[in-house]
Chains A and B, each alone.
Chain A
Amino acid sequence: MAYQRITLTVNDLTETVDVPHNMTLLQMLRQKLSLTGTKNGCSAGECGACTVLMNGEPVNSCMVLAAECEGATIVTVEGLAKNGKLSKVQEAVAKAGGVQCGFCTPGMMISATALLERNPNPTDEEIRQAIVGNLCRCTGYFRIVNGIKEAAKM
């Protein structure tokens, strides 16, 4: 099995990791760095539970090879709260009742964070478009959309 040593930034920390060539970014985060906030729902780019920021843009970490991440900057759900304080989106979505089982939440928070970064005042439609790739089996999306809308006002 071929291995590669990569150095990257994950949630503001520089990490050097030896990764098998067939390891995905998702597997590296969970298995090598013990960042288990990022979830594996489908391993196929469909569900969005594995969404992380890669160089500032949300990607499905199950569809990225760890070996491709040399020099990359990654942010996972663990990197959203600062000094023990939830980010605005996390706080607003929790308050709006947008979290039930919580499995979609890490990916949802990353997509919402990226949306507000590129568009601080999204319409309902734009919010829904931004989370098309984040499936939620529990909430019916309504409360999540409301939470993201509230976060935009904060």
Chain B
Amino acid sequence: MINPHPGLPELEYVKPATLVEASQFLAEHNGTAKPFSGGTDCFVRLRDGVLKVDYLVDIKGLDGTKELSFDPKKGLTIGAAVPMNKVATNKDVIAHYPNLAMAANSVASYQLRNRATIVGNICNASPAGDTIGTCMALDGVLNVHGTDGFRQIPLNSFFLGPGRTVLKPGDVVISITLPVPPAGMVGVYKKLGRNTIGDLSIVGVAVLGYPNSKSPSGYTFRIALASVAPVPFEALKAEALLSEKKITEETIAQAADIAMESVTPIDDVRGSARYRKLMVRNLTREAITEVWNQLSK
């Protein structure tokens, strides 16, 4: 009989005091140790037996991981140990990055968001990660500590495939920095789950737009799509169309069609590939329209 409530397999909990210690430990135990923050991805995978480790390395005590601060020049920095609810209720986030609050609030349930983190969502590298697209469209940069010290990794060169990133043995992501958004930015996150709340996304669409005198259309749009390709990605061709052509109902519909053509979804329990493609078109059109209605007010 299948045990419906397996406990966590045998493992050792390690809580390093410094970044150097953490990176060293992770590098020395490459393949048998994993960093974790909220554990909401790790624990499920450990219980299911898809993840096997000897050591779980708690990063929540490390320097910089509890930071949540906004600087009018540098932007927003979110530490790897900051739970999503803290992010979504932060007044600077609500004032300057309301689309990020929206994406964070779309994840799971209130109590899970007291543990789940944005950095964990990103490092997990699931195609369905709900906050990844918005962080990409906001040009997020990860602050990382490894065995060679500190470095930065832009989010748009972070993902290699489902569950795979450019992180090396010994790397700990300390935080993510989101630059100050362009003036007049409007952004939304549209998520389609099997129910309206509390489920992984079948399709997730993050769209933001802002006035830009350098674009022929007078605007720049960023469109990032989740759950419809091996990794969340930006629909660059659709973005280009919206910067080149005057924005009308027709160009918005065209951009949504182009976004649909750019995706390579799979069939799974949550939806068929065909359904996902159609929903990318519909949600992208809805999201761009919502952003445009506010921009053109």
Q: Which residues from chain A sit less than 8 Å from chain B, CB to CB?
A: 1-2, 4, 20-24, 27, 40, 42-45, 48, 51, 54, 57-60, 62-65, 67-68, 111, 114, 129-130, 132-134
Q: Is B111 an interface residue (CB 8 A)?
A: yes
Q: Please give, as numbers and ranges, the residues of chain A lying within 8 Å of B9 by CB-CB distance.
A: 22
Q: Select B112's contact among A20, A40, A63, A114, beta carbons within 8 Å.
A: A63
B149 at the interface (CB under 8 A from A): no
Task: Evaluate whether A59 and B13 lie within 8 angstroms (CB atoms) in the complex, with A130-B110, A133-B108 already known.
Answer: no
Q: Whose C-beta in chain A lies nearest to the C-beta of B85?
A: A57
In contact, A1 and B10 (Cβ under 8 angstroms)? yes
Known: A4-B13, A59-B114. 19 other contacts (CB 8 A): A1-B10, A2-B12, A2-B13, A21-B13, A21-B56, A27-B7, A45-B40, A48-B111, A51-B111, A57-B114, A60-B111, A62-B43, A63-B39, A63-B115, A65-B8, A65-B56, A68-B58, A68-B60, A111-B110
Taking CB atoms, residues of chain A closer than 8 Å to B40 are: 45, 63
* Residues A45 and B108 in contact, CB atoms below 8 Å apart: yes
A44–B198 CA distance with the chains assembled, in angstroms? 13
Chain A CB within 8 A of B11 CB: yes
Q: Which residues of B lie under 8 Å from residue A63 when comparing CB positions?
A: 38-40, 43, 112, 115
Which B20-57 residues have C-beta < 8 A from chain A? 38-40, 43-44, 47, 56
Q: Which residues of B contact A1 (CB under 8 A)?
A: 10
- Which chain A residues lie closer than 8 Å to B6 at the CB level? 43
Q: Report which B residues bind A (CB closer than 8 A).
A: 4-13, 38-40, 43-44, 47, 56, 58, 60, 85, 108-112, 114-115, 197-198
How far, in whole Å, are A111 and B115 apart by their CA atoms in the complex? 15
With both chains docked as a complex, state the minimum distance between the C-beta of A53 and any C-beta of chain B, in angstroms.
10
Residues of B within 8 A of A48 (CB): 109, 111
Complex CA distance for A111 and B112, rounded to whole angstroms: 11
Q: A27 CA to B4 CA in the complex, in Å?
A: 15
Cross-chain contact B110 with A64 (CB below 8 angstroms): no
- For the complex, what is the distance from the CA of A21 to the CA of B9, rounded to whole Å? 10
Does the CB pair A133–B43 fall under 8 Å?
A: no
Complexed CA–CA distance, A114 and B113 (Å): 14
Shortest C-beta distance, B102 to chain A (Å), equals: 13
A-B contact pairs, 29 of them (CB 8 A): A1-B10, A2-B13, A22-B7, A22-B13, A23-B7, A42-B5, A43-B6, A44-B47, A45-B40, A57-B85, A57-B111, A57-B114, A59-B114, A60-B111, A62-B43, A63-B39, A63-B40, A63-B112, A65-B8, A65-B13, A68-B13, A68-B60, A111-B110, A114-B110, A129-B197, A132-B109, A132-B197, A133-B108, A133-B112
Q: Which of A2, A43, A57, A114 contacts B5 (CB 8 A)?
A: A43
Contact yes or no, A44 B44, CB < 8 A: yes
Q: Would A21 and B12 count as touching, CB distance under 8 A?
A: yes
Partner among A21, A60, A129 whose Cβ is within 8 Å of the Cβ of B115? A60
- B112 contacts A60, C-beta separation under 8 Å: yes
- Flag if B111 contacts A59 (CB, 8 Å): yes
**Bound complex: CA A64 to CA B108 (Å):** 16
A residues within 8 A CB of B7? 22-24, 27, 43
Cβ contact within 8 Å between B10 and A22: yes
In angstroms, how far is the closest chain B Cβ from the Cβ of A79? 17
